[in-house]
């Protein structure tokens, strides 16, 4: 299968410039980056793609066997990098895609000039035994997944505004709700389990490429302690706390998000 068609890969920006690869979160597609791209493509080559099962990807390529863990998505990321042959990329992963970047860079570090982990979470579930705070108890996650599986559209309408934050700008929550609702419910149920049940804390120390952890100042999904944990576990990483609030700064504060990415690209060359 053609990788570019499978993941609806698009390349824009300045040819021959450093490459940034933007990876979207659960329930979204590459359209979520549209407000960030104009600021990046002036000086950079920008690669956008849809995870299989999202957006304009080839839905026939989706299988529960391949995408029941993050490994299937990591395989896709590396195949896209190899297909495009644009050289090492700065991989910008939002939310669950941040951990895809961590796993991909640990597996093939030569493919990456750096990572930007935007609102990352290596594990959403609190671990009282170690003192780790992921933001949710195990019971919270069980309830979340049960609600999603029982009524995906209703869950989307209730959860998307919480995830987005910024209640004074309801149009942002509405956009995320609509994005969630465009996702096939059966695919969303599997991806939600991958997103909320994965535990990649032990993988962070395997990263050996320059890394920026970009944490939002207030985020109901990935609280500040999570960003601090990721920063502490990745050797030599840098951390920035954005003024942006909510879990989707590329929509809520696109200029600030683009500036953080561009600044990091400039220092990671």
Give the residue numbers marked as catalytic: 95, 219, 247
Dist CA 60 CA 214 (whole Å):
34
CA-to-CA dists, residue 263 to 97, 127, 196, 241, 267, angstroms:
21, 34, 30, 14, 7
For the chain, report the end-to-end CA distance as a whole number of angstroms.
Answer: 33
Dist CA 82 CA 58 (whole Å):
19
Cβ–Cβ under 8 Å, residues 161 and 176: yes
CA-to-CA dists, residue 53 to 59, 105, 192, 263, angstroms:
5, 23, 12, 32
Phi, psi dihedral angles at 141 (to 5 degrees) = -65, -40
Token couple for 169 = 């700008």
Q: Is 97 left (phi over 0), alpha (psi -120 to 50) or beta?
A: alpha
CA-to-CA dists, residue 108 to 27, 33, 77, 231, 238, angstroms:
27, 25, 11, 21, 21
Nearest to 125 by CA among 56, 179, 196: 196
* Contacts (Cβ under 8 Å, ≥6 apart) of 155: 144, 147, 148
| Exposed e or buried b per residue across 128-162, where buried means at least 16 C-beta atoms within 10 angstroms of its C-beta | eeeebbbbbeeeebeebbeebeeebeebbbebbbe
């Amino acid at each position: 299968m053609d990788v570019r068609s499978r993941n609806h890969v698009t390349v824009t920006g300045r040819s021959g410039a450093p490459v940034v690869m933007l990876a979207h979160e659960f329930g979204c597609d590459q359209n979520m980056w549209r407000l960030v791209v104009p600021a990046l493509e002036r000086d950079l080559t920008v690669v956008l793609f849809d995870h299989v099962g999202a957006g304009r990807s080839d839905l026939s390529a989706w299988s529960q066997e391949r995408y029941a863990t993050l490994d299937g998505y990591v395989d896709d990321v590396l195949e896209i990098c190899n297909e495009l042959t644009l050289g090492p990329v700065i991989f910008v992963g939002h939310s669950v895609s941040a951990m895809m970047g961590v796993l991909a860079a640990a597996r093939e570090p030569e493919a990456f000039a750096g990572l930007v982990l935007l609102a990352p979470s290596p594990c959403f579930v609190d671990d009282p035994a170690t003192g780790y705070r992921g933001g949710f108890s195990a019971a919270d996650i069980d309830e979340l997944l049960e609600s999603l599986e029982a009524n995906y559209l209703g869950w989307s309408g209730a959860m998307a505004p919480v995830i987005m934050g910024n209640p004074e700008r309801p149009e942002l929550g509405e956009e995320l709700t609509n994005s969630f609702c465009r996702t096939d419910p059966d695919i969303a149920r599997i991806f939600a389990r991958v997103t909320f049940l994965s535990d990649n804390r032990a993988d962070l120390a395997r990263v050996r490429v320059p890394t920026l952890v970009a944490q939002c100042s207030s985020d109901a999904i990935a609280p500040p302690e999570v960003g601090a944990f990721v920063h502490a576990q990745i050797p030599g990483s840098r951390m920035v706390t954005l003024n942006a609030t909510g879990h989707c700064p590329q929509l809520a504060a696109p200029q600030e998000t683009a500036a953080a990415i561009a600044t990091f690209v400039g220092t990671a060359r």
